[in-house]
Amino acid sequence: MADTDLSRLHTYDLELGATEAVQKHYSRHVVAQKPVSQRKLDFEHARPRWLRECMAEATGVFYYVFPGIAAIAAFTINAESPLGVTAFGSIFQIGWAFAIGIAFAIITCAPTSGGHFNPAITICFAIWQGFPWKKVPHYIFSQIFGAFIAGLLLMGMYWPEIQTFKAESIASGKGLVYNGGPASILCTFPNPDQTNLGYLFLTEFFVDSFIGLVIWANLDPANPFVSPVSAPFAIGLAYGAMVWGFADIAISTNLARDLGTRIVAAIFFGGESFSYLHYSWIAILVNVPATIFATGYYEFLMRDSLSTIGKGHAVHEHGEEGLRRHITNTGTIETGAANALKPNGSRLDDLKHE
């Protein structure tokens, strides 16, 4: 872009190509970062890797659970407000709170731990992607712990309002544990007429499978439609979409999110938080087989490993020789994989003709 075009930035006359112009414009004036001391490097090197990963997973789950249940609290507590519940929240707002919370969790903590934030995702990484099984237990514990802390903090911050709501709920004869009651601020409960556990199971299974498939597609390095910048928001929106569509008929979506906050609900509102309509096992456990099903569906029917190799994100288990044998034996390459390999075009031709 010519220098004369850059001057147009001063008139705010931006059009196509503005990104290029901005990138070539005046450099940002920021405070220079001080040199990194050896003491700091030694301290960071001495930190146990497992502790950093555990804290990142706990923090990430906290980041997405806390705004979500805070939005639920505002919606639930003010259901009878003379101003109208929409002045304080809605299912739409709750979906966005969880969606943006997930995006922030990934942006903030994924560089340290990989950003699982869900026991089912951790298990699927171990099954399909070679994640060490020895790390699975402390990842899952950390995720549940993060949700537990989110629930405790919410109870503290909303304590006066929850106590008032609790007294009103008891006075009306409804109790504490029901959908729309004090305990439902923290975790999911079915509606009183939802007594068919099979129906609840299938709803949870479908919703969790939907989210799991979107997550796995976003994490596929061969997917040309997702960038590292957009993936956190795409994953968050998948969660939000399920909240908007199915929150009114009871969904949990994450073992850690439900179990961690359900323990808090049991502490403050009684053991019925686990026994109400025999539902808790669905909210806690169904997420795991549903996510394994979804990721298995992707791995067996949609994964294009040759494309992943072509983009440099993986290698053949037997190296270049193994890849050469595969191309020779199959004779043809699927269109998607061939396109992925085009950036390495000469390498592909060499492999095909050697």
User: Tell me: the pLDDT tens digits for 94-105?
Assistant: 999 999 999 999
* Average pLDDT, integer, range 277-286: 95
Q: How many CA atoms lie within 13 A of 176 on its CB side?
A: 18
SS3 132: coil
pLDDT at 345: 42
Give the end-to-end CA distance of the chain in Å, rounded to a whole number.
Answer: 43
Question: Who has greater pLDDT, 29 or 73?
Answer: 73
* Residues 314, 130 contacting (CB under 8 angstroms): no
Residue 280 tokens read as 């808790």
Question: Who has greater pLDDT, 326 or 276?
Answer: 276
User: Tell me: the pLDDT tens digits for 173-191?
Assistant: 999 999 999 999 999 999 9
Question: Who has greater pLDDT, 263 or 13?
Answer: 263
* Average pLDDT, integer, range 10-23: 44
pLDDT at 12: 42
Give the list of residues 6+ apart from residue 340 with CB closer than 8 angstroms, or none: 222, 304, 306, 307, 308, 310, 311
The residue with tokens 């009114």 is 248
- The span from the CA of 82 to the CA of 91, in Å, is 19
Backbone φ/ψ region at 278: left (φ over 0), alpha (ψ -120 to 50), beta: left
In this prediction, residue 21 has a pLDDT band, given cuts at 50, 70 and 90, of very low
Among 264, 259, 256, 298, CA closest to 280 = 259
String of DSSP letters for 311-345:
TTS---TTHHHHHHHHHHHH----HHHHHHHGGGH
Q: Is the pLDDT of residue 349 over 90?
A: no
On average, the pLDDT of the chain sits at 85
In this prediction, residue 84 has a pLDDT band, given cuts at 50, 70 and 90, of low
Among 164, 200, 10, CA closest to 79 = 164
* Residues 251, 242 contacting (CB under 8 angstroms): yes
